[in-house]
Amino acid sequence: MPKTNGPIIRDIAERAGISPATVDRVLNKRPGVRELTAKRVLQAAAELGYLPEDEILRTLRPRPLKVVFLLPAGTNPYLRLLGETIKDTTEKSSDHNVRPRCFFIDSFNPKHLSDALKRHGEKADGIAFMAIDHPLVRETIGTLAARGKHIVTIVSDISSVSRTAYVGLDNRAVGRTAAYLLGRLSKHDSGRIALISASRTYRAHEEREMGFLSLMGEESLKFSVIAAREGHDDRSENYHHTLKLLAEYPDLIGIYNVGGASDGIARALREKGRDKDIVFIGHGLTTDTRTFLLEDTMDLVITQSPDSIVQNTLKIFENVRAGKAPLTGVSKLSMELVFKENLP
């Protein structure tokens, strides 16, 4: 708002019953005035015809919430896509009165993640992050929650903490679904199946693996599952893991990539000429996994909408500011199963 002149300030001050200096602070959006006093000033200005109604609404609107998203650094294309979605939300107008920012960190290291939570928790109103289930991280979340900071876990949850909400899938159900479909898609009656995980410190990956193994055991499928390799969502690690698996197990008939960076696995399968006879299931619909589906290198991609993750998270932060239950009006995320024939 442009600076007002002296007579206008005196008129508003007289009507509101407060000092001209306080009126000047409110009209020129300077700090140091209580919310109730600011409302009296704006009401008086409106009654005198000095302030349009839409200006009152804008001025009374609370400041945007400062929300920080922390995502794992690395070569996982889906997490990069999630980061771009957060950036797009920041740059375009939004119905949410939230100002999100995104930082990529080495979150496989619990101390690095804990330090990042502490650092950003100093100024942010809330933090959304992919959690690793570690005592140091749990302790940091407890400290932040005790200071009134709101914590939302996304994609991967954490146990025994005072977090505000979790935005993500039921990962045990995800793993069971992957096992069921791998068994149905395979042309073999027996053979070995390999699991490649990012890290079991991610509860999401541990639960997917547990769900996968659970269904395999229940269904008494004639497949044996090789102990999971940890590739840390790194395309190079996943590539070398796959090459070793192919060399060691000639009867390999399926691969379930529990985490991300499926491009490393696809590269190894193509190089060894096994991309058409091994059932390959992975996560995260991105430009590269779309290509692998079209080329028949991948058979299925299990994904969750990045936009829904971001919008649900922002809605949760607005809910808690308004004193509502965190999940009020927040739709449950759906597991999307993408094959070549139903690519969106």
The number of helices, as runs of H, and strands, as runs of E, in the chain is: 13, 11
**The token pair that represents 283 in the structure block:** 């996560």
Q: What are phi and psi of 339, to 5 degrees?
A: -110, 170
What's the topology of domain 171-303?
Answer: Rossmann fold (3.40.50)
* Residue-wise burial string across 164-188, b where 16 or more C-beta atoms lie within 10 A, e elsewhere: bbbbbbebbebbbbbbbbbbeebee
pLDDT at 156: 95
Q: How many beta carbons lie within 10 A of that of residue 39, not counting itself?
A: 16
**The token pair that represents 12 in the structure block:** 């508003």
pLDDT at 299: 98
At residue 1 the predicted structure's pLDDT band, cuts being 50, 70 and 90, is very low
**Which H/E stretch holds residue 135?**
helix 135-146
Min mean pLDDT across 20-24, 91-95, 293-297, 314-318 is at 91-95
Q: Which distant-in-sequence residues (6+ apart) come within 8 Å of 169 by Cβ?
A: 204, 304, 333, 335
pLDDT digits (tens, 9 = 90+) for 119-134: 999 999 999 999 999 9
Alpha-carbon gap, residue 42 to 134, rounded angstroms = 50
Say if pTM beats, i.e. exceeds, 0.85.
no
Q: Where are the domains of the chain?
A: 6-60, 65-169+306-333, 171-303
| Mean pLDDT of the 81-101 span | 83
| Mean pLDDT of the 167-175 span | 97
Alpha-carbon gap, residue 90 to 239, rounded angstroms = 35
- The reply to whether 6-60 and 65-169+306-333 are identical in fold is no
**The token pair that represents 116 in the structure block:** 């990042």
Residue bearing tokens 């590739």: 231
**What is the residue type of 185?**
L
| 248 neighbors 215 (Cβ within 8 angstroms) | no
Tell me the percentage of the chain whose pLDDT exceeds 70.
Answer: 92
At residue 43 the predicted structure's pLDDT band, cuts being 50, 70 and 90, is confident
| Mean pLDDT of the 32-59 span | 74
Alpha-carbon gap, residue 198 to 202, rounded angstroms = 8
Alpha-carbon gap, residue 336 to 307, rounded angstroms = 13
What's the topology of domain 65-169+306-333?
Answer: Rossmann fold (3.40.50)
pLDDT at 54: 63
pLDDT at 62: 66
What's the topology of domain 6-60?
Answer: 434 Repressor (Amino-terminal Domain) (1.10.260)
At residue 7 the predicted structure's pLDDT band, cuts being 50, 70 and 90, is low
How far the first Cα of the chain sits from its last, in Å, is 46
57 by Cβ neighbours in 10 Å (0-12 / 13-18 / 19+) ranks as exposed
| 315 neighbors 324 (Cβ within 8 angstroms) | no
Average pLDDT, the chain: 89
pLDDT digits (tens, 9 = 90+) for 186-200: 988 889 999 999 887
Ramachandran area for residue 296 (φ above 0: left; ψ -120 to 50: alpha; else beta): left
Min mean pLDDT across 45-54, 75-84, 322-331 is at 45-54
